Amino acid sequence: MTNRLAPPGLYIHVPFCARVCPYCDFAVQTGGPRRRGDFIRLLLREIGLWSRLLRGEGSAPDRSAGQGSHQAVPSWRSEQPFDTIYLGGGTPSSLSPEVLEEILAALHGSLPIAPEVDVTLEANPEDVNTGNLRSWQRLGITTLSLGIQSFDPDALSFLGRSHTPEKAGAALRGALESSFETVSLDLIFALPGQSPMRWEADLRRAIEYGPDHISCYELTVHEGTRFARLKERGELVELAEDDKAELFLLTHRLMAENGYHAYEVSSFARGPNHRSRHNRKYWDHTAYLGFGPSAHSFDGVSRRWWNERRLPAWEAGLQRVPGASSGLGTGASGRFGQSPIAGSEILAPADLVLESLALGLRTTEGVDLERLRDLYGIDVEGENGALVASLRRDDLLVDTSPASLLVPTLRGLAVADALARSFEIPPATAS
Amino acid sequence: MQTIRNFCIIAHIDHGKSTLADRLIQRCGGVADRQFRDQLLDTMELERERGITIKSNTITLTYTAGDGQTYTLNLIDTPGHVDFSHEVRRSLMACEGAVLLVDATQGVEAQTVANVYLALEQDLEILPVINKIDMPAADADRVLEQIDADLGLDPFETLQVSAKEGTGIDELLETLVAKLPPPQGDSGAPLKALIFDAEYNAYRGVVLLVRVFEGTLRPGQMMRLMHNGAEYEVEEVGLVKLEREKQGELSAGAVGYVISGIKAVADIDIGDTITEVSRPAAEPLAGYVEAKPVVFSSIFPVSSDEYEELGKALDKLKLNDAALTFQKDSSSALGFGYRCGFLGMLHLDVVQERLSREWDLSLLLTAPSVEFHVTTADGKEHVVENPAEYPDPAAIEQVKEPYIKGSILMPDRYLGTVMELLLEKRGADTQFHYLAVGRVEVTSELPLTEVLFDFYDRLKTITQGYGSFDYELMDYRATDLVKVDILVNAERVDALAMLVHRDKARARAIHACKQLEKHIPRQNFKIAIQGAIGRDIIARRTVNAYRKDVTAKCYGGDISRKRKLLEKQKEGKKRARAFGNVEVPQEAFLAVLRSDPDDK
Contacts B570 to A, Cβ<8 Å:
421
Quick check: A414 and B548 CB within 8 A? Answer: yes
Q: Is the pLDDT of residue B599 over 70?
A: no
Alpha carbons B363 and B36: distance in angstroms, whole number: 36
Quick check: A304 and B544 CB within 8 A? Answer: no
Quote the radius of gyration of chain A (alpha carbons, Å): 22
Give the domain-ending residue among B439, B464, B479: B479
Q: Is the pLDDT of residue B87 over 80?
A: no
b/e map B249-281, b = 16+ CB within 10 Å: bbbbbbbbbbbbebeebbbbbbbbbbbbeeeeb
Q: Is the pLDDT of residue A331 over 50?
A: no
Residue of higher predicted confidence among B50 and A249? A249
Which range marks the domain in which residue B253 is found? 192-276
3-state secondary structure of B206: strand
Residue B346 pLDDT: 79
Question: Is residue B31 in some structural domain?
Answer: yes
* Three-class HEC string of B123-154: CCEEEEEEECCCCCCCCHHHHHHHHHHCCCCC
Which helix (H) or strand (E) is B181 found in, with range? none
Question: Is residue B433 in some structural domain?
Answer: yes
Give the domain-ending residue among B339, B365, B391: B365
Question: How does pLDDT run across A414-428, given as a tens digit for each residue?
Answer: 999 999 998 999 988
Alpha carbons B396 and A322: distance in angstroms, whole number: 88
Residue B40 pLDDT: 52
Chain B interface includes A199 (CB < 8 A): no
Report whether the peptide linkage leading into residue A90 is cis, meaning its omega lies within 30 degrees of zero. Answer: yes
Residue B81 pLDDT: 55
What CATH number has the domain bearing residue B150? 3.40.50.300
Which residues, including other chains, have CB under 8 Å from residue B560's CB and lie 6 or more apart? A296, A304, A306, A345
Question: Is residue B289 in some structural domain?
Answer: no
Quick one: B530 and B389 in the same domain?
A: no
Q: What is the mean pLDDT of residues B268-295?
A: 87
Quick one: B410 and B466 in the same domain?
A: yes
Q: How far is CA B438 from the centre of its chain?
A: 30
Quick one: B31 and B143 in the same domain?
A: yes
Lowest mean pLDDT among A172-181, A377-386, B338-347, B366-375: B338-347
Q: How far is A298 from chain B, CA to nearest CA, in Å?
A: 8
Torsion of CA A71, A77, A81, A87, to 10 degrees: -20
Question: Is residue B186 in some structural domain?
Answer: no
Quick check: B547 and A358 CB within 8 A? Answer: no
Of A266, A18, A31, nearest in space to A163 by CA = A18
Quick check: B556 and A394 CB within 8 A? Answer: no
* Confidence class for position B574, pLDDT limits 50, 70, 90: low
Q: Which of A116-130, A336-350, B232-246: highest mean pLDDT?
A: A116-130
Quick check: B559 and A304 CB within 8 A? Answer: yes
Of B412, B453, B477, nearest in space to B599 by CA = B453
Quick check: B566 and A354 CB within 8 A? Answer: yes
Q: Is A335 exposed, middle or buried (0-12, 13-18, 19+ CB in 10 A)?
A: middle
CATH number, span A9-281:
3.20.20.70
Chain B interface includes A209 (CB < 8 A): no
Question: How does pLDDT run across B57-75, given as a tens digit for each residue?
Answer: 688 999 999 889 999 999 9
Q: Is B575 exposed, middle or buried (0-12, 13-18, 19+ CB in 10 A)?
A: middle
Amino acid sitting at position B515: Q
Chain B interface includes A291 (CB < 8 A): no
Of B91, B167, B92, B173, nearest in space to B131 by CA = B167
Which ipTM was obtained for this model?
A: 0.88
Q: Give domain limits for chain A.
A: 9-281, 349-421
Q: How far is B333 from chain A, CA to nearest CA, in Å?
A: 21
* Confidence class for position B125, pLDDT limits 50, 70, 90: very high
Angle formed at CA B101 by CA B100 and CA B106, multiple of 5 degrees: 130
Alpha carbons B475 and B403: distance in angstroms, whole number: 5
b/e map B146-157, b = 16+ CB within 10 Å: bbbbbbebebee
Residue A339 pLDDT: 81
Quick one: B235 and B316 in the same domain?
A: no
Quick one: B388 and B521 in the same domain?
A: no
Residue B600 pLDDT: 45
Of B391, B427, B393, B380, nearest in space to B408 by CA = B427
Quick one: B59 and B173 in the same domain?
A: yes
CB atoms within 10 A of CB A365: 15
Q: Is B42 exposed, middle or buried (0-12, 13-18, 19+ CB in 10 A)?
A: buried
Q: Average pLDDT of chain B?
A: 86
Q: What is the mean pLDDT of residues B25-41?
A: 61
Residue B35 pLDDT: 52
Residue A322 pLDDT: 54
Question: Is residue B421 in some structural domain?
Answer: yes
Of chain A, the percentage scoring pLDDT greater than 90 comes to 77
Residue B377 pLDDT: 92
Quick check: A283 and B554 CB within 8 A? Answer: yes
Q: Is the pLDDT of residue B39 over 70?
A: no
* Confidence class for position B458, pLDDT limits 50, 70, 90: confident
Question: How does pLDDT run across B321-367, given as a tens digit for each residue?
Answer: 778 899 999 887 788 999 999 988 878 888 888 898 888 898 888 98
Chain B interface includes A10 (CB < 8 A): no
Quote the radius of gyration of chain B (alpha carbons, Å): 27
Q: Are B288 and B272 in contact (CB under 8 A)?
A: yes
Nearest to B547 among A359, A391, A415 (CB): A415
Contacts A351 to B, Cβ<8 Å:
563
Alpha carbons B417 and B459: distance in angstroms, whole number: 9
Packing angle between helix B345-358 and helix B307-320, nearest 10 degrees? 120
Residue A337 pLDDT: 43
Contacts B545 to A, Cβ<8 Å:
394
Quick one: B493 and B585 in the same domain?
A: yes
Question: How does pLDDT run across B293-312, given as a tens digit for each residue?
Answer: 889 999 999 888 899 999 99
Alpha carbons B55 and B362: distance in angstroms, whole number: 24
Local structure of residue B303 (DSSP, 8 states): S
Question: Is residue B70 in some structural domain?
Answer: yes
Angle formed at CA B213 by CA B207 and CA B214, multiple of 5 degrees: 110
Of B456, B450, B448, B453, nearest in space to B474 by CA = B448
* Confidence class for position B497, pLDDT limits 50, 70, 90: very high
Residue B471 pLDDT: 81
Backbone dihedral angles phi then psi of residue A129, each to the nearest 5 degrees: -145, 170
Q: What is the mean pLDDT of residues B470-486?
A: 91
Nearest to B563 among A26, A354, A396 (CB): A354
Of B157, B92, B85, nearest in space to B470 by CA = B85
Packing angle between helix A130-138 and helix A165-177, nearest 10 degrees? 40
What CATH number has the domain bearing residue B491? 3.30.70.2570
Q: Are B4 and B72 in contact (CB under 8 A)?
A: yes
Nearest to A358 among B524, B525, B563 (CB): B563
Contacts B557 to A, Cβ<8 Å:
11, 282, 288, 290, 295-298, 304, 306
Quick check: A241 and B569 CB within 8 A? Answer: no
Residue of higher predicted confidence among B113 and A4? B113
Quick one: B315 and B252 in the same domain?
A: no
Backbone dihedral angles phi then psi of residue B15, each to the nearest 5 degrees: -85, 0
Quick one: B53 and B147 in the same domain?
A: yes
For A269: left if phi > 0, alpha if psi spans -120 to 50, otherwise beta; the answer is beta
Nearest to B563 among A355, A390, A419 (CB): A355
Question: How does pLDDT run across A275-311, given as a tens digit for each residue?
Answer: 999 999 999 999 999 999 999 999 999 999 999 999 9
Alpha carbons B105 and B139: distance in angstroms, whole number: 6
Lowest mean pLDDT among A43-57, B542-556, B577-591: B577-591
Chain B interface includes A296 (CB < 8 A): yes
Quick one: B539 and B587 in the same domain?
A: yes
Alpha helices in B98-231 (DSSP H): 110-121, 140-149, 169-179
Alpha carbons B355 and B365: distance in angstroms, whole number: 12
* Confidence class for position A65, pLDDT limits 50, 70, 90: very low
Q: Are B345 and B368 in contact (CB under 8 A)?
A: yes
Question: Is residue B288 in some structural domain?
Answer: no
Alpha carbons B417 and B268: distance in angstroms, whole number: 45
Give the domain-ending residue among B365, B397, B425: B365
* Confidence class for position A333, pLDDT limits 50, 70, 90: very low
Quick check: B524 and A218 CB within 8 A? Answer: no
If you measure CA to CA, which chain B residue comes closest to A297? B557
Residue of higher predicted confidence among B299 and B17? B299
How many domains would you assign to chain B?
5
Of B171, B181, B162, B68, nearest in space to B123 by CA = B181
Q: Which of A229-238, B45-54, B566-575: highest mean pLDDT?
A: A229-238
What CATH number has the domain bearing residue B471? 3.30.70.240
Window 261-290 of A, Cβ < 8 Å to B? 265-266, 279, 282-283, 288, 290
Q: How far is B557 from chain A, CA to nearest CA, in Å?
A: 5
Class of domain A349-421: mainly alpha
Q: How far is B179 from chain A, CA to nearest CA, in Å?
A: 57
Strand runs (DSSP E) across B254-305, as ranges? 255-259, 273-276, 295-301
Q: Is the pLDDT of residue A325 over 70?
A: no
Q: Is the pLDDT of residue B555 over 70?
A: no
Which helix (H) or strand (E) is B420 found in, with range? helix B415-424
Quick one: B145 and B39 in the same domain?
A: yes
If you measure CA to CA, which chain B residue comes closest to A344? B560
Residue B84 pLDDT: 55
Residue A37 pLDDT: 92
Quick one: B162 and B13 in the same domain?
A: yes
Question: Is residue B286 in some structural domain?
Answer: no
Which residues, including other chains, have CB under 8 Å from residue A96's CB and lie 6 or more apart? none
Q: In this structure, is the dihedral angle defined by the CA atoms of residues B217, B219, B221 and B225, taken in order, positive or negative?
A: positive
Question: Which chain B residues touch A if contact means CB-CB below 8 Å?
Answer: 522, 524-525, 544-560, 562-563, 566-567, 569-570, 573
Number of cross-chain residue pairs from A and B with Cβ atoms under 8 Å apart: 109
